[in-house]
A and B are shown apart, each in its own frame.
Chain A
Amino acid sequence: MIVSRREEWLGRTLLVLLMLVTVLPFVSLFVTALHQPGTYPSGLSWPATPHWSNFADAFKAAHMGKLLWSSVIIVIGVVPISMLISTLAGFALGHLRPPGGRAVFIGFVLGLTLPFEGIIIPLYYQMRDFGLLNTRWAIILPLIGLYMPFAVFWMRAHFINMPEDISEAARIDGANTWQLFWRIHVPLSMPALSALAILLFLWTWNQFLLAVVLVSDPAQRTMAGALGAFQGQWGTDIPLLCAGSLLILTPTLIIFLVFQRRFVAALLQGSLKG
């Protein structure tokens, strides 16, 4: 490609500038977290004596151990089940293509753009009637339902693009549908499945609205929901709030940095298909 020197330098400068804008708030958050608790430091200033103990204090004040555990339980409750039932449905819609499948598929597609606020009110009363309000089930069960449009859409798109020859060959070898699914299709779907797992994990971990409305005890919420409560409680102590926010960010940041390539690919594909 023909690119002049000047164009390239312009591009590089712009990119570095944008990266700075992206990262500076994080840096500011970190630096502020090191100031003396209870003070109002200015945006970007290194403290005379860094108070590393703020992180330990915030960890204790926010009951971080409990929060982490709660989020993990919710993720374990949501992600595997969502993946299993959406893969089954995606296989049925994409590979078996039953009569009426198209109508079912359109039904799911219509839910793709649904804002969660649209159904939060009945969900509250429904959970109350089920007696599940203020339990983690109140987050887990609706999330499974809410993820179905995307997850089924995603898996169907994957199965529909699977070459028919593979299934034909397996059938000639005497595989029934069940074996075809578990032995052939699922192992071949690992890239699609892992991308879906990443997306569902991220959306669950960061889920805020359901956590705030349906669960009043922060210790039963997701990380994002707990952060909201933490702000309400410690909002006046800026360094401590910053330390707590950073701690709550850390798990996703670590997972992101470890799997970054997959994350970026999953999110890009995810939005392209959605």
Chain B
Amino acid sequence: MNDPTLVGIAQLAIAKAPEQLCCLGLGSCVAVFLYDPELKLGGVVHVLLPKAPQNHEVEEKYADTGIRKLVGQLLARGAKKERLRAKLVGGAQMFPNLNLQITDIGAENCHEVKRVLRELGIRVVSEDTQGNRGRSVVYNMADGKALVSTAFAPQHVI
């Protein structure tokens, strides 16, 4: 099988079976995976921050605008919104002891991602989020499964 396509920070990609999409080294970023099991069509957006400011350049950088763009592209490729299901990976807090006015961006990202998905009526079927470990993930369009790996623990499927 071909190597999975890398989806970097603030990038979005669509793929269908048998292709795979991956995100490497997710910290506070969240990889949002939406999948239509009937078409075996899915897409990933790798968001860095929760909410887009007024004048933003890159929609894919933010959870709210990024997810809407991803849904739009999937629907344009024939996916049906009521069939879409979401899997979430990332949103960790990598430096929990920094005593500054830095909020937990990972948690905020997760919160915003779920809020937007709820608004759109898309169900989150599984997630591996928050905590304080980085993650890498490979999404398989053939079966909609996500293979998550971390620095020191064994891989697992969600």
Partners in one complex: no
Taking Cβ atoms with an 8 Å cutoff, the residues of A that contact B are: none
Taking Cβ atoms with an 8 Å cutoff, the residues of B that contact A are: none
